[in-house]
Amino acid sequence: MLLFLQPDSTEHTGEALLATLREAGLDGQWVEVQPRRVLRLHGQPRSIEWLQSLAGVLHAVPAERPFHLCLKDTPAQKTTIRVADHSIGGTEPTLIAGPCAVEDADELVGLACALKRSGAHLLRGGAYKPRSSPYDFQGLGRDGLKMLSDAGRAAGLPIVTEAVDERSLDEVLEYSHVVQIGARNMHNYALLKRAGACRLPVFLKRGFAATLEDLLLAAEYVLEQGNPNVILCERGIRTFSDHSRFTLDLSIVPRLQDLSHLPVFVDPSHASGRRRSVAALARGAIATGADGVMVEVHPHPENAMCDGRQSLDPAEFELLAEQIRLLATVRDGQGETVL
Ligand code: PEP
Ligand code: MN
């Protein structure tokens, strides 16, 4: 185990902690993880809860999972990420909306303008699509990036789009405001490192079979390379449940919010795979404390080349955006009731 000490801890706090551990038959050794004090524990503790309850201990983390950059130093610590004139992780929930894939330039401009009018903060759309089948539409590549960038500019919306490998990351960096790393690439450590070395915020989606720790370790790869701007996104995991495409694990939202200072998002579209479930799950995400949602919207979902069954139409998105704004005022205490 690694024990991360509170940021205001002194040498005296550390010595007192070591003494308590020794009384319990354990021992420890200081390790250098600037700027924090970190103690590597020797011996088998009673429980992690007991360790966390000891004076001066901020986090107790298994040594084989030694993330620390993504953890909070204080309960109130929060990373906010400025994208154009919007703050991700700030007081207002962030709405990211757009089609699964970039398809048609004119249609995308019309959609982007409608989304902006409804209150979206970022425009999404894949130009490089990581599809489960090699026979499915793989995206328009650089042409798609240009179309997304033009549509974003026309509507006054910054854009977020996915890089599927190191080559596409270089292209995405030329056009996008935020780079997305998808669920299938959450374990692609070479890609995470490259994203960590770039200047754009990284929208990191949870892998289908990734635990909370796996997700935080993936974020740690980016942070460790010097990029402080990571957004975590729950997008559904595989379970035995077969009534929806994936199982949306909303329970990870308050856990992540407690542990990490990084903004936490939810994607109800890929999680449910079902248009009629998307708004309810998005509202649930906001009620659970998410900093924002990413939702697929298509002008004609029935004709979409990709993920039409889970895409809202612009009118449905407009209604959802209104509901989310209302919910957030209640959640954050500006309404009459505080959740
Ligand atoms: C996407 O957002 O376009 C996408 C492919 O999502 P995920 O990586 O969560 O499957
Ligand atoms: Mn999709």
Looking at residue 336, what is its pLDDT? 55
For residue 303 the two structure tokens come to 């004709």
pLDDT at 33 over 80: no
Give Cα 82 to chain centroid, integer Å.
15
Give CA–CA dist 87/81, Å, rounded.
5
CA torsion 239-242-246-251 (nearest 10°) is: -60
Q: Which helix (H) or strand (E) holds 259?
A: helix 252-259
For residue 223, the CA-to-ligand 2 centroid distance in Å is 26
Q: Ligand 2 centroid vs 58 CA: distance in angstroms?
A: 38
Contacts of 64 (CB under 8 A, 6+ apart): none
Nearest atom, ligand 1, residue 183 CA: 8
Average pLDDT over all residues of the chain:
94
Residues 6 or more apart in contact with residue 98 via CB below 8 angstroms = 111, 112, 115, 120, 123, 124, 125, 148, 296, 297
Q: How far apart are CA 155 and CA 297, in angstroms?
A: 15
Q: Is the pLDDT of residue 132 over 60?
A: yes
Across the range 320-332, mean pLDDT stands at 95
Two tokens, residue 48: 């992690």
Query: Which numbered atom of ligand 1 lies nearest the CA of 184?
Result: 8
Q: Which of the four pLDDT bands, split at 50, 70 and 90, describes residue 334?
A: low
Q: What is the pLDDT of residues 160-191, one digit of tens each?
A: 999 999 999 999 999 999 999 999 999 999 99
For 231-262, how does the pLDDT look when each residue is reduced to its tens digit (9 = 90+)? Answer: 999 999 999 999 999 999 999 999 999 999 99
Q: Decide if pLDDT at 65 tops 70.
A: no
Element (H, E) at 76: none
Pocket of ligand 1, candidates 145, 270, 298, 305: which has the most ligand atoms within 8 Å of its Cβ, to mutate? Answer: 270
Which pTM value belongs to this model?
0.86
The percentage of residues in the chain with a pLDDT greater than 70, rounded to a whole number, is 96
Q: Which residues pair with 27 in a beta bridge?
A: 42
- Whether 182 and 162 have beta carbons less than 8 Å apart is answered as yes
Tell me how far apart the alpha carbons of residues 259 and 115 are, in angstroms, rounded to a whole number. 32
pLDDT tens digits, 202-238: 999 999 999 999 999 999 999 999 999 999 999 999 9
Average pLDDT over residues 107-136: 96
In angstroms, the CA 110 to CA 150 distance is: 11
**Residue to mutate (ligand 1; options 102, 162, 233, 246; most atoms within 8 A of CB):** 162
Ligand 1, atom 6, residue with closest C-alpha: 182
